[in-house]
Each structure stands twice: as C-alpha cells, then as structure tokens.
Amino acid sequence: MAATLKDVAALAGVSVCTASYVINRTGLHKVGEDTQRRIMTAAEKLKYQPSAIGRALKNGRTCLVGAILPAITSSFLPDVLDGLEDCLNRTGYSLILCTQKNQEEFRQKCNVLRKKQVDGAVIVPEKNDDFLRLCDQLAQEIPTAFVTFRSTNPAIVSVCTDGAAVGYIGAKYLLERGHRRICLPDNGDTWRLQGYQRAFAEFGVSWDKSILYSPHTVWKPGAGREMLHYALDQSPRPTAFHLYSDMLAMELLDEALELGFRVPEDFSIIGTDGLAIGELMRPKLTTIAQPRHEQGFKAGELLLAKIDGRPVNNLELYPYLEVRHSVRSLNA
C-alpha cells in the first residue's frame, strides 16, 4: 500500500541507504545535488511517509508516550491532557490515552504501555499506596512523570501545583473576611494544611477551634453533598467551606441551595482548580485556580528531557485566587 523507502530508491535509481540519508538529512553521507533532487521528487511522487514502525524497530524508540489517568470526564484533566499533547506533538511524539477506573485497570494500563513500548509515561496518580507502588515499578522500566501530584520517588519526575500555596491563599482569603469556622476535607493532604496553618499563625487565629475536618474526602460523585451534610450535623456549623476541587465545590453548592440555604449568605464556598464552568454557576464560584494546560505541557517537557537522559527537577506551579461570588465577608 504505502510506499516504502525501497520504492523511492528504486524510482530514483539509487540504493535504499542513499535514499534514507537524503530523507533524514543525516550529514553522514555526502550525496550529489541532482541525486538528492531525484530522490526528493520520487518521494513526493510516491507520497512517501517514513514508517514509524521500521524506525521504531531500528532505533528502539516508538516516539509514543502513554498517559494514564482517572476518567477524563469533565474535570480539569482535559486541560492538562491538552497541554501535554501540545508539548509532545512538537517533537514528533504522540500520546496514547489510557483511562483507569480502579486499581486493577491501572495495572492493566501499565501493561498496555509496556507492551506498546512507549518511550515514556505520564501518570495522574491516586493518593494510594498500592497505586504508587505500581508506579514505582513502572518507573523502573519506563521513564515516568507525574502530573498534578508531587513525586517523592527520585526516579519519577513531577509537575504539580504548590499545595501549600493553595492552602495559604484560601485560608488568607477566608480569614480576611472574618471566617473563623472553616470546613476542610480530611483527605490526608498535609501539604495544603501547611499553608492553612501558616495563614492561621499570621492571623493569630486558633487552629483547633476554627477548623472542622470532614471525613468525606476522595472524589466520587456525591462526595461534595455528603460533606455538607456532615457539616450540618456539627456544632457550631462552619461558615465557610474550602473544597480541593471545583467539581466537589459545585456539588456542595448545589446541595446547599437544594436544601434551601443561601450562598454565600448562609455559607461561603471556595473551590480549587479554576474551571471555566464555575463562572456559570449561581453564585459564580470563587476558586483557587491552578495552571492546567501549563501543567500538562511542562510534564511533557520534563518527560522528554528524561527520555533523552537530560537531568530534570520536579516543578511546582503557582495557583492564584479567582474571586467570584461564592464567598461572603463577615466583617462589619
């Protein structure tokens, strides 16, 4: 079907290797001007496309990168993916998409990447030891990068958002507005808590009296709603919620309105991610935005560097406050 290098060479009346040299512009071989032209013409006439397979076999490089992530449906991961793809495509790399719904699927997808012999893997991991062990294993065989999650394994490079900054920015914004009873998900993310604690220290506000941990923690549909119900059962009730994702925050917002509460009059809500869709909520969702496209793009860059054996360092990107209308000031 598709023309091969042999066909091109034959049509140009040269040997395969000469054709190869011309097509790839490897300076190794000196080729006469008109021979070059003949070869290029032949290639065009035959619409020659170099075979990635032949190359991969010879070079031991597939120019394929696999991405494993939890279901891509409507969170901020599409943006990250978009950035990753942008980066990879510039270097002739392509992206194999692997979504994963649970640990068993994750294991399978790792094997898919092994089998397809990708040159590298980008993973959006789950905060879960079993998962991380599988990642460590994979990283021994394939250059691997984490995105949206900080790696502690030196063999895995990572790009993520500065969690302490997320916490600090959120805490400061709420404290400034007089909130002294704040509900946070207790998902074991100590990084964000550090930021919270720093802000509390700056404001001289007591931690234990002000922070309410909700046990509803991991993202699954309904988690935001459960968090609200948990908080409603506590006393005193919180005046504000800071969720670690916008989807969760929007769910909680919906549930609050559904129950007849007013937002932000009765409860203030602040999300994390900065999804554009939050702008369409009523009230519009105030959020700690994180770079999404850039996060993916940088992950691609670091991974490609790693693949090429260049030294790499983990990267932390900065979040920023997106003020909208879901937080009320309690002052005055």
Partner DNA sequence: ATGAAAGCGCTAACAC
Partner DNA sequence: GTGTTAGCGCTTTCAT
Q: Of these, 3, 96, 305, 317, which contacts a copy of itself (CB under 8 A)? A: 96
Contact assessment for residue 35 and residue 14, using Cβ atoms and an 8 Å cutoff: yes
Residue 54 beta carbon to DNA: minimum distance, rounded to whole angstroms: 3
Show the tokens assigned to 64.
Answer: 């394929």
- Of the chain, the end-to-end C-alpha distance in Å amounts to 77
Nearby residues of 105 by Cβ (< 8 Å), 6 or more positions away? none
Contact assessment for residue 263 and residue 326, using Cβ atoms and an 8 Å cutoff: yes
Select the span of 1-9, 130-138, 143-151, 209-217 touching DNA (CB under 7 A): 1-9
- Chain centroid, CA 254 distance in Å: 26
**Sign (positive or negative) of CA dihedral 297, 300, 306, 310:** negative
Residue 92 beta carbon to DNA: minimum distance, rounded to whole angstroms: 12
**Sign (positive or negative) of CA dihedral 58, 135, 247, 299:** negative
Q: Of these, 15, 41, 57, 320, which contacts a copy of itself (CB under 8 A)? A: 57
232 touches, from a copy of itself, DNA, none (C-beta below 5 to 8 Å by class)? none
302 touches, from DNA, a copy of itself, none (C-beta below 5 to 8 Å by class)? none
Contact assessment for residue 309 and residue 156, using Cβ atoms and an 8 Å cutoff: no
Contact assessment for residue 245 and residue 219, using Cβ atoms and an 8 Å cutoff: yes
- For DNA, give the closer residue by CB, 52 or 205: 52
- For DNA, give the closer residue by CB, 50 or 70: 50
281 touches, from DNA, a copy of itself, none (C-beta below 5 to 8 Å by class)? a copy of itself
Q: Does 94 bind DNA (CB under 7 A)?
A: no
Q: Does 91 bind DNA (CB under 7 A)?
A: no
Q: Does 91 bind a copy of itself (CB under 8 A)?
A: no
Cα atoms found within 13 Å of the Cα of residue 166, Cβ hemisphere only: 28
Q: Does 222 bind a copy of itself (CB under 8 A)?
A: no
| Cβ atoms < 10 Å from Cβ of 1 | 3
Residue 36 beta carbon to DNA: minimum distance, rounded to whole angstroms: 7
Q: Does 103 bind a copy of itself (CB under 8 A)?
A: no
89 touches, from DNA, a copy of itself, none (C-beta below 5 to 8 Å by class)? a copy of itself
- Chain centroid, CA 168 distance in Å: 21
SS3 123: strand
Q: Does 74 bind a copy of itself (CB under 8 A)?
A: yes
Q: How many residues sit close enough to a copy of itself to count as binding (CB under 8 A)? A: 48
Q: Does 279 bind a copy of itself (CB under 8 A)?
A: yes
Query: What is the rounded CA–CA span in Å between residue 290 and residue 91?
Result: 26
Q: Does 17 bind DNA (CB under 7 A)?
A: yes
What are the residues binding DNA (CB under 7 A)?
4-6, 13-18, 20-21, 23-24, 26, 28-32, 35, 50-51, 53-55, 57-60
